[in-house]
Chain A
Amino acid sequence: MPEIKVTPLGAGQDVGRSCILVSIGGKNIMLDCGMHMGYNDDRRFPDFSYITQNGRLTDFLDCVIISHFHLDHCGALPFMSEMVGYDGPIYMTHPTKAICPILLEDFRKITVDKKGETNFFTSQMIKDCMKKVVPLNLHQTVQVDDELEIKAYYAGHVLGAAMVHIKVGSESVVYTGDYNMTPDRHLGAAWIDKCRPDILISESTYATTIRDSKRCRERDFLKKVHESIERGGKVLIPVFALGRAQELCILLETFWERMNLKAPIYFSTGLTEKANHYYKLFITWTNQKIRKTFVQRNMFEFKHIKAFDRSYADNPGPMVVFATPGMLHAGQSLQIFKKWAGNEKNMVIMPGYCVQGTIGHKILNGQRKLEMEGRSTLDVKLQVEYMSFSAHADAKGIMQLIRMAEPRNMLLVHGEAVKMEFLKGKIEQEFSIDCYMPANGETVTVTTNPSVPVDISLNLLKREMALGGPLPDPKKPRTMHGTLIMKENSLKLVSSEQALKELGLNEHQLRFTCRVQLQDPHSDTDTLHRIYTHLKSVLKGYTIQHLPDGTVMVESIVIKVSSSTEDPNTKVLLLSWSYQDEDLGSFLSTLLKKGLPSGLC
Chain B
Amino acid sequence: MKLYCLSGHPTLPCNVLKFKSTTIMLDCGLDTTSVLNFLPLPLVHSPRLSKLPGWVSKDGTLNLEKELKECAGRVFVDSQPEFCLPEKELLDLSTIDVILISNYHCMMALPYITEHTGFTGTVYATEPTLQIGRLLMEELVNFMERVPKAQSATCWKNKEIQRMLPGPLKDAVDVWTWKRSYSMQEVNSALSKVQLVGYSQKVELFGAVQVSPLSSGYSLGSSNWIIQSHHEKVSYVSGSSLLTTHPQPMDQSSLKNSDVLILTGLTQMPTANPDGMLGEFCSNLAMTIRAGGNVLVPCYSSGVIYDLLECLYQFIESANLGTTPFYFISPVANSSLEFSQIFAEWLCHNKQSKVYLPEPPFPHAELIQTNKLKHYPSIHGDFSSEFRQPCVVFTGHPSLRFGDVVHFMELWGKSSLNTIIFTEPDFSYLDALAPYQPLAMKCVYCPIDTRLNFHQVSKLLKEVQPLHVVCPEQYTQPPLTQSHRSDLMLELQPPPMPYRRCSVLNLPFRRRYERVYIMPELANSLVPSEIKPGISLATVSAVLHSKDNKHTLQSVPKPPPVPPSKKRKRVIEEPPVVLAPKPLLSGAVPLEAFLATLQKHGITEVKVEETADGHILHLQAEDTLIQLEEDGTHIVCDNNEPLRTTLRDLVLRFLQKL
Contact = CB atoms under 8 A, between A and B. Distances in A.
Q: Say which size band chain B's interface belongs to.
A: 35 or more
Interface stretch (A25-33, A133-141, A340-348, A417-425): A133-141
B584 A500 contact: yes
Interface string A475-499: 0011111111111100011001101
6 contacts: A137-B198, A479-B543, A481-B583, A484-B528, A503-B537, A512-B635
A449 B520 CA distance: 6
Nearest to A515: B638
Contact of B520 (A451, A512, A587): A451
Contact of A141 (B200, B537, B539): B200
B589 to A, nearest CB: 8
Interface string B623-651: 00000001111111111010011001001
Interface string A194-227: 0000000000000000000000000000000000
Interface in B310-342: 334-335, 338-339, 341-342
Contacts of A139: 197-198, 201
Interface string A404-419: 0000000000000000
Contacts of B244: none
B540 interface: yes
A182 interface: no
B556 interface: yes
A277 B358 contact: yes
Contact of A513 (B200, B542, B587, B634): B634
Most chain A C-beta atoms within 10 Å of own C-beta, residue among B201, B540, B541, B636: B540
Given A97-B356, A139-B198, A479 B514 contact: no
Interface of B: 127, 197-202, 212, 230-231, 334-335, 338-339, 341-345, 352, 355-356, 358, 360-361, 511-520, 523, 526, 528, 531-532, 534-546, 551-553, 556-557, 572-573, 575-576, 578-589, 630-639, 641, 644-645, 648, 651-652, 655-656, 658
A488 B534 contact: yes
Nearest to B231: A455
Most chain A C-beta atoms within 10 Å of own C-beta, residue among B537, B572, B656: B537
A363 B352 CA distance: 43
Interface of A: 94, 97-98, 135, 137-142, 151, 170, 274, 277-278, 280-284, 294-295, 449-458, 461, 464-465, 468, 472, 477-488, 492-493, 496-497, 499-500, 503, 505-517, 538-540, 542, 579-584, 586-587, 589-591, 593
A138 B553 CA distance: 34
Contacts of B526: 484
B352 A94 contact: yes
Nearest to B360: A281
Contacts of B356: 97-98
B633 A509 contact: yes
Contacts of A455: 230-231, 513-516
Given A483-B538, A483-B658, A451 B230 contact: no
Given A295-B339, A511-B635, A500 B586 contact: yes
A456 B514 contact: yes
A451 B584 CA distance: 27
Given A479-B541, A481-B581, A483-B537, A539 B575 contact: yes
A458 B511 contact: yes
Contacts of B338: 294-295
Contacts of B581: 481, 580
The 3 closest A-B pairs by CB, nearest first: A509-B632, A451-B517, A496-B584
Given A281-B358, A477-B556, A484-B540, A508 B655 contact: yes
A310 B212 CA distance: 53
B342 A507 contact: no
B200 A507 contact: no
Given A294-B338, A503-B532, A452 B517 contact: yes
A481 B641 CA distance: 27
A485 B230 CA distance: 18
Contacts of A294: 338, 342
B535 A480 contact: no
Nearest to A508: B585
A510 B633 contact: yes
Most chain B C-beta atoms within 10 Å of own C-beta, residue among A461, A479, A493: A479
Nearest to B515: A453
Contacts of A480: 540-544, 553
Contacts of A477: 543, 556-557
B539 A496 contact: yes
B544 A281 contact: no
A284 B127 contact: yes
A478 B541 CA distance: 10
Contacts of B541: 479-481
Contact of B198 (A140, A506, A591, A593): A140
A472 B516 contact: no
A491 B590 CA distance: 31
B200 A142 contact: yes
B543 A478 contact: yes
A484 B342 contact: no
A591 B540 contact: no
A452 B586 contact: no
A579 B656 CA distance: 13
A542 B575 CA distance: 10
A140 B199 contact: yes
B586 A506 contact: yes
A540 B575 CA distance: 8
A485 B537 contact: yes
A301 B637 CA distance: 98
Contacts of A449: 520
A564 B224 CA distance: 80
B198 A499 contact: no
Contacts of A483: 537-540, 583, 658
Contacts of B587: 505-506, 508
Given A483-B658, A508-B585, A514-B644, A468 B631 contact: no
Given A496-B583, A507-B631, A539-B575, A515 B639 contact: yes
B198 A454 contact: no
Nearest to A486: B536
B628 to A, nearest CB: 10
A450 B552 CA distance: 12
A271 to B, nearest CB: 11
B377 to A, nearest CB: 12
B638 A516 contact: yes
B74 to A, nearest CB: 40
A181 B86 CA distance: 43
Contact of B513 (A456, A506, A517): A456
Contacts of B630: 506
Given A452-B517, A580-B581, 17 more contacts: A135-B345, A141-B201, A274-B358, A282-B355, A295-B334, A453-B515, A455-B515, A458-B511, A468-B546, A477-B557, A478-B543, A486-B528, A499-B537, A510-B648, A512-B634, A580-B584, A587-B575
B18 to A, nearest CB: 17
A508 B633 contact: yes
A583 B516 contact: no
A353 to B, nearest CB: 27
A503 B535 contact: yes
Contacts of B540: 480-484, 493
B632 A511 contact: yes
A481 B358 contact: no
A148 B343 CA distance: 28
Contacts of A590: 572, 641
Contacts of B200: 140-142
Contacts of B655: 508, 510
A161 to B, nearest CB: 15
Contacts of B536: 485-487
A516 B636 CA distance: 12
B518 A454 contact: yes
Contacts of B576: 583-584, 587
B517 A584 contact: no
Contacts of A142: 200
